[in-house]
Amino acid sequence: MQAGIKLIKVLVFSFCGTLLAACAAIGWEESSFTHGGKVSGNLAVLAHCTVDQLQSDSRWMIRTLQYQVFSYPDIAAMEIYAYPEGALAGTYARNSPSNPDAVIRYGLPTPMIHPGKPGSNADKEVDRDYSFVLTLKRTDNATTFATVSGRKYESRIAWDTLETCSAPE
């Protein structure tokens, strides 16, 4: 009888250890999303519309994103970096989207102006923990070339929102 109980204990512990090791190895890998194309509309209007709609989205994960904007007037381009709540420097309880008493500034933040091309001068100021980056470059007065890349869930929603903003009314 004692040998049978001892055998059952050994089997249960080894089964639990194997199960734990198997579950730990599964891991959740975040997939990325990259998309680009031409959209109709003015560069600044598209940027403001996209951020405004994302900030008023019903999904909390999207609504609480915080933004950092870089403008490149020499080449008529703009980069919008979206960060998860708390990842952007300067977020405190007084301005956190999750605090109901916070003073939150909605809309597109004041762009940081850089000469040159997107990604060149701004690298030192960008935290790599962004959810997505939306790059807009004016091609002519009526169209803009846009690319979005980053985490799959947030990037896909950002692209859909951009397309909604560029759709003719």
Kindly state the tokens that stand for 12. 């249960």
pTM: 0.71
What pLDDT tens digit does each residue of the chain (169 aa) get?
A: 677 677 676 656 666 556 555 555 565 556 888 889 999 988 888 988 998 899 888 888 888 888 888 888 888 899 999 988 776 666 666 666 666 666 666 666 666 766 665 555 445 466 678 889 999 999 988 889 999 999 999 999 999 999 999 876 5
* Residue indicated by tokens 């929102």: 161
Distance (Å, whole) CA 135 – CA 14: 52
Write 126-132 long-range contacts (CB < 8 A, 24+).
126/68, 126/81, 127/83, 127/87, 127/88, 127/89, 129/83, 129/84, 129/87, 130/81, 130/82, 130/83, 130/87, 131/65, 131/82, 131/83, 131/84, 131/155, 132/33, 132/81, 132/82, 132/158
Distance (Å, whole) CA 156 – CA 164: 12
Q: What is the pLDDT of residue 17?
A: 57
CA 91-97-100 angle, 5° bins: 120
Q: What is the pLDDT of residue 169?
A: 55
14-47 per-position pLDDT tens digit: 665 565 555 555 655 568 888 899 999 888 889 8
Kindly state the tokens that stand for 43. 């560069």
